Each structure stands twice: as C-alpha cells, then as structure tokens.
Chain A
C-alpha cells in the first residue's frame, strides 16, 4: 500500500511580498488562470503584430526541461512562453532578472502571476538558490525559460554563456532545448521602450542531455560551450 504523503506548498507561511519574489513560489487555481489568460493574450499579440512562426515544435520533450535561446530583446521570453503548449506551458517558469522584473511590488505581482517568472538576482545568486531551482526542476517537473547569456545583447550579437545553465542540468537527465529567435532585436531592441510590429521566427532544436557530465568547473564549461554551439547552429545562414 502506498503510504500517505502530504507535501505542503513550498512557499507556505511566506508573507505575500516575500512569496512573490520567492524561488519556492507555487501557484494555485488563481495563478494558473491568470497565467493562462496572459499566455493566450500573448499568443494573439505575437500572431497579430509579429506573425510568429515556430519551427521544430516536435523537438520539445515533456517537462522537465530547460529551454534556452539567444537573448537580444524582451520579446524573447514572450516568444518562448507563447510557443509552449499543454503541460509544458503550464509548467513554464521564466528565470528573469530580479532587478528588472521584481524591483517594485506591482511589477513583482505581474511577473509572478502573469508571466510566472522566478527572480534571479545578478551577481547575488546563492548556491542554495541554484540548488532549489535544480531540485524544483526535477521534483516539480518544471520547464525553465532561460537565457544563458545572462542579459540582453545590446547589438544583437551573442555573448558567452554563463555557468548557471550548467549548474541546473549537469549530471541530471533534464534535457536542454536550444532555440534561435530571429527578428526580436529588430522589433524591440534594448534601446527602445516599446516594441514595434515585425516578423518573428523561432527555431526549436533537438534536445541535449548532460546526464554524464560532472558538475565541476570543467563540466560546466563543456555544457556552456555545447549549449551555445547548439543555439548558434540554429541561426539561419547569412
């Protein structure tokens, strides 16, 4: 007989302000409904204003997985979130810059309830926080939307990948799904306050697994390079 297993919400007992900014945040029916409404609005917007085309959706595995891409615009996270479907869409959590999205209470509420983002604080991420993210990825079967460059490229060129991705997946069976986003930088570069209409293309590549790679410095460097190579390989020629 299966023994009883009661597992309270990971963020049980946290006051609202802390809960919004907590990596342990788990949502209920209200959060699910708000996020679903946001996702459907987003899909309509991306279809109408950007004629978003998605190629390679069949490469997406069931959660858990980490989906990564080049990063040159706020449209990038929206594009990846809008491309996911079903359980993967509900399990999707964007790892977002805490300073940008969680600085003010209203912004934090929007990032938490609509975008379903988890904050990552630049230069201040502790080992225990990465451990929690890794634990949740596996146990809660989440899908992380992650931009391993760490920040938006100002000119559209790709920067080296930070080691955070490798710390999440090294030695685990969690697949990393490489993607290339084309057109986002032209539509909404970091220098502009609002996006302008324009075509967006998303290419989703075959997943990579780093189960046999040790989570040491050498392993992390290997993962970062392999993941970056896989993203670059999806870039259209020219």
Chain B
C-alpha cells in the first residue's frame, strides 16, 4: 500500500510542513524586524531547528513502513529509558537495567512478530523477572525502590510505548499513528496558548507552575475537536463512528497527553531537575519532547481496539511460526 494512500496521511504531512514553513517565516520576520530579545529569537530558532530534525525522524519511519515504525518506536523507548535511568539513578543497577532493556527489545519484537499473546504476556513476565533479578545480589536495602523504578520504567518505555509500534500491524496504521504524533504536539501548543490567552488559576502549581486550568481545558476542547474531526474520516463507517465515541477519543488523547506531561513534571520535581537531558536544543531531553505519547499510546490502542482492533485480518507470528 502506498505511503500516501489515505487522504488523512496527506493532510497531516501537508499541514505539518505548512506549520513548519509558517513558523520559519514568522521567526524570520521577527528577526528581520528586530522584535523580541536576541535570546528569545535564538530560542525560537533552536526549537524550530530541533523540530526540523525531529519531524523527519518521526514521520519518515511511519511513511516508510511497518518495520521502520516499530524500529523507530523501539529506539525511542530505549532512548527514553536511558534518560529516565540516568535521572533516577536506576542505571547504577545494571542487572535491573539490563532486564528493562531486554523487556523493551522483546515487547517490540512481539509487535514486529505480530504476536499479541507474547506482547501481552511480557508485562507480567518482565515484572516478575524484575522482582527477582536483583535478589541474588543479597542486598535487600533499597529493594522496593529499585524494583519500583524498574517496573515503572518498563511499563512506560516498554509495555506502554510499544503499543504505538503495534498499531503498525494494521494496514491502515499510517494516518492513525501520524494523527497521534501530531495531536500530542497540538495538545501542548493548545494548552500553552489557551493558558497564555485566558490566564486564570494554576492547574497544579507545585507540579508544573506554568500550567493553568484554562490551558488544560482549552487543550481538551481544541485537541478533542481536531482529533474527533480527523478520526471521523478514519472511523466514520465503523462501530466507533458515532460522534460521542469520536469526541471521547479526542478527549482521551488530550487528557492522556497532559497526564503524561504532568507525570514527567512530577518525576523531574521529585528529583529536582529541570530537563531530562540536553539532546534536543530548545526542548531538553527526548523524554521532555515525547512524554505525552507514553500514556496516549496504550490508552488509544485499547480504545480503538475495543471497537475496531488493529490488524485483525493480518498474518500473525510472522517470525516465530
């Protein structure tokens, strides 16, 4: 099937390119007019530059095919786990870290193999292995903390995020995955913009001091509507085609996206750091950019799975049978 077979794929890729081009023109205009401080303009250029590198890395594998999508999700999971492990100190527990990395590799292999039974089984199996892996070290002090950190790490960057790759087993995955990738970015922008325009009380000031209730609700309205409209083109003729369910999907994307953001903020506040890394200029770490996807992926997978499913008519156990 052609990468651009579905019109929604064309719309999303076209809209993304248009947004980047418009942003470049606006920032170029600001620079030419000398508006804003040089530091602010530099920050804007850095962010745009990061997006210009990130977007092909995000959209390219999705357009390239199933295997590339799953490979990209695997790499994303490993890179996110690396940042998490370094920030929490879990990387010093090399046995547990190795088990989490193996779990991430296996769960993405299960997605690549289109073996849902193994994909699901890896959650209890990996958690069980994490629970026992450090026992032979005969070092009970700190056991609950290190196992707790490892289980959370596997849940977020392995079992959870791998749902995004698993979607690629459906022949029509491209518009759905692209919709999620762009919707979580739109969600961030909508929350920021609505918060700035409407102001009002803070959402959770101790967790994330810049977020407002108006911003969060505005993001739910904007992202929820946009996702529902686009999802109508994808699922209009399916049991999920009613507007109530489509709007619920949109709200789910927005709420889960914001919850992922707040979850990372909680982790950073607890540790006492501002960013999870320095890989992406203007953004921070990879986790700072992709936190919203962590909870959206499994939530949307199972929501759509309840009504429609992913790749139900496609060959399964491609490599293991």
Which residues of A line the B interface, CB within 8 A?
2, 4-9, 12-15, 26, 28-29, 32
Contact = CB atoms under 8 A, between A and B. Distances in A.
Say whether chain B's binding surface is mostly helix, strand, loop, or mixed. Answer: helix
Interface residues of B, number: 21
20 contacts: A2-B141, A2-B145, A6-B270, A8-B86, A8-B88, A8-B271, A9-B86, A9-B91, A12-B87, A12-B273, A13-B273, A13-B278, A15-B278, A26-B86, A26-B92, A28-B91, A29-B97, A29-B98, A29-B101, A32-B94
Interface string B67-101: 00000000000000010011111011010011001
B87 to A, nearest CB: 5
Given A6-B270, A28-B82, A29-B98, A14 B91 contact: no
Contacts, number: 45
Contacts of B101: 29
B287 to A, nearest CB: 12
B142 A5 contact: yes
Contacts of B89: 6-9
B153 interface: no
A64 to B, nearest CB: 15
B103 interface: no
B94, B142, B273 pick with most chain A CB within 10 angstroms: B94
B277 interface: yes
Given A12-B273, A32-B94, A6 B142 contact: no
A81 to B, nearest CB: 19
B275 interface: yes
Nearest to B89: A7
A6 B146 CA distance: 10
A5 B145 contact: yes
Contacts of A15: 278
Q: Which 8 A-B pairs have the closest CB atoms?
A: A7-B89, A9-B86, A28-B91, A8-B87, A15-B278, A6-B271, A29-B97, A8-B271
